Structure 1
Amino acid sequence: METDFSTLRYEESDHVATVTLDRPEVHNAFDLRMMQELRELWRRLREDDKVRVVILTGAGDRAFCTGLDRGTLDTAEPGTDDQPIGIRGGTPLHFDDPGDWISPKTSGDLWKPVIAAVNGMACGGAFYLLGQVEFIIAADHATFFDPHTSFGMASVFESMAMLQRMPLGEVMRMQLTGAHERLSAQRAHQIGLVQEVVPGPELLDAARRVAAVIASQPPLAVQATLRAVWYAQDLGYRQALEVAKTLVTLGDDPAALAEGQAAFNSGTRTPWRLR
């Protein structure tokens, strides 16, 4: 895929796209340009059948992302396309939030696996991204926190995103302690926010290893499985079961099923690693 982004780096190999938030001088905080470029990228990836899995990371080893670069807000006129957050029009009933622009599922309707590789700090608005990835691999020096309340701001969208991934008490403690506490990669792994912790130099290799495994499998089955899990998260259980009937029909590709059956009949078994 051809890209001309100024705030993102894009690489593609063997059906895996690696997207790097590329503003290390401000800890990869997103400005208005990055918000616009992320929204465009998620939508492009949705249409690109060559890409089956996405790895999302941040440039450098100090931060994955530290949320909105508030220092850039003064350069854009509120309520215009140059200022894609805040109230649109004369009443507060029309409101654009950063999540409307940068979250892969909300802004891009992207239902391909996204793996986050977190290197360093992930805080505040970074949770718009982490709340909509499939799973997280973290460097052992990564930290997670939300400073909103310490600066007099309510953490609302971020808290709701984290509640989808963390136990209630852990969300409450992280959000309410603000900048005063940080969650280590090890603690994040203990509570299920992070699925694997590796030494910093091994982070991208670890993400690429699991991305390659996922990309090697039939994409229709992968994407239908992904959507089933998110439906079960978002809907009531009985509602999700009704949707499941459609997903099974859509996700079972006859050609892939025949290939899988042939492999099973041959006695060949997939090599595996213990995690």
Structure 2
Amino acid sequence: MGRFETLDYEAGEDGVAWVTLDRPEVHNAFDARMMRELRTLWRELREDDAVRVVVLTGAGERAFCTGVDRGALGDPELRIGTRGGTPLHFDDPGDWISPKTAGDLWKPVVAAVNGMACGGAFYLLGQVEFIIAAEHATFFDPHTSYGMAAVFESMAMLQRMPLGEVMRMQLMGAHERLSARRAHEIGLVQEVVPASELREAAGRVAATIASQPPLAVQATLRAVWYAQELGYRQALEVAKTLVQVGNDPQSLAEGQASFASGARTPWRLR
């Protein structure tokens, strides 16, 4: 894995890779370099079979990510809009940072949110599998307060939050923030823990997922996303292929042998 200036990358022996947005001096906001490095990293992770699960977090305790670095908005690479002579060539720099859009990465990504998550952070959170948040984490989108339409971010959050909650968060702009507790109540966040326990909690679930047969995990992941994005009948057609692809004979045999032996997996109540 290459070296990065705006990201901290750590791969463990348990199949879990840790990706940390590492610009704490600007609340881990992304500039053009971070965008390029994220796109490179997501695509490299596709090729690394030793990595089965990714945990995504931010450096420090104040912020996970606050979107685009406003101090870097003069950079042409960060300009959202049309290119060339017609409105049909539209660029959105957010396409460079999301694991599925930018990297076509279909390994599980778990977000560990350690502070503010706002604006362009939703490009990232919209494409993770689930979110674990520290108790002090907050979620908000200031776009409308500064005269900007919250479009891509709103669409991403509508995949994870009820309509009324998305409307309220996006239209209230910088005037209101969603607490970790409220985010958990509405299903945006799946677990809330003290800040001191965030890494342990994220690492525990990531390591558990990574310990299971990767083909079955990745096919399950794809099935859920297909069902979210396609019509139900369309998703069922894709499901027939996913069942054939995701049921690896060796893993099935090992699982059957384990069950037949009487061994049962220790479980934890959440």
- TM-score range with shorter-chain normalisation? over 0.9
- Residues 55 and 207 of structure 1 are in contact (CA less than 8 Å); yes or no, is this contact kept in structure 2? yes
C-alpha distance in 2, partners of 1:56/1:201?
A: 16
Corresponding position: 1:251 with 2:246: yes
**2:2 and 2:225 mapped to 1: Cα distance?**
29
Mapping 1:20-39, distance limit 5 Å: 20-39=20-39
> Does the aligned pair in 1 maintain the 2:119–2:140 contact within 8 Å?
yes
Trace 1:76-155 onto structure 2 (pairs within 5 A).
76=75, 78=76, 82-83=77-78, 85-155=80-150
On the 8 A contact 2:73/2:79 being kept in 1, the answer is no
For residues 44-63 of structure 1, the aligned pairs below 5 Å read 44-63=44-63
Specify the SS of the correspondent of 2:73: helix
Deviations 1:30-87 (A, max 9, x none): 000000000000000011111000000000000000000121122x3x3xxx557532
State the Cα distance separating 1:175 from its structure 2 match: 0.2
Tell me if 1:262 matches 2:257: yes
Partner of 2:175: 180
The residue identity in structure 2 corresponding to 1:49 is D
Report the counterpart of residue 191 of structure 1 in structure 2. 186
Q: Are the counterparts in 2 of residues 88 and 94 from structure 1 also a CA contact under 8 Å?
A: yes
Query: Is the 8 Å Cα contact of residues 18 and 55 (structure 2) preserved in structure 1?
Result: yes
Amino acid at match of 1:151: Y
Return closer, same or farther for 1:95/1:224 CA change in 2, 3 Å cut-off. same
Q: In the aligned structure 1, how far is the partner of 2:81 from the partner of 2:24?
A: 25
1: CA distance between counterparts of 2:72 and 2:161?
Answer: 31
- Aligned-partner residue type, residue 51 of structure 1: V
Q: Deviations over 1:143-163 (max 9, x none)?
A: 000000000000000000000
Deviation at 1:92, TM superposition (A): 2.3
Q: Identity, % of aligned pairs?
A: 83
Task: Spell out structure 1 runs of 4+ moving beyond 3 A.
Answer: 82-86
Q: How far apart in 2 are the matches of 1:73 and 1:150? A: 17
Contact 2:20–2:58 under 8 Å retained in 1: yes
CA contact (8 A) 1:84 1:98 kept: yes
1:123-162 CA distance string (max 9 Å, x none): 0000000000000000000000000000000000000000
Q: Is residue 166 from structure 1 mapped to residue 158 from structure 2 by the alignment?
A: no
TM-score norm. by structure 2 comes to 0.98
Unaligned segments of structure 2, at least 5 residues:
none
Task: Give the superposed CA RMSD.
Answer: 1.0
The equivalent of 1:64 in structure 2 is: 64
Structure 1 regions of 5+ residues with no counterpart?
A: none
- CA, structure 1 residues 140+71, in 2 after alignment: closer, same or farther (shift >3 Å)? same
Contact kept? 1:85, 1:97, Cα under 8 Å: yes
Distance 2:80 2:173 in 1: 23
Are the equivalent residues in 2 in contact too, given 1:120–1:142 (CA < 8 A)? yes
Distance in 2 (CA, whole Å) between partners of 1:16 and 1:88 is 39
TM-score by length of 1: 0.96
Asked if the contact 1:123/1:145 (under 8 Å) is kept, the reply is yes
Per-residue Cα deviation, 1:70-109 (whole angstroms, up to 9, x for no partner) = 21122x3x3xxx5575322222211111221001001100
Which stretch has the larger CA shift, 92-101 or 214-223? Answer: 92-101
Give the residue type in structure 1 aligned to 2:209.
Answer: I
Amino acid at match of 2:137: A
| SS of equivalent residue, structure 2 residue 100 | coil
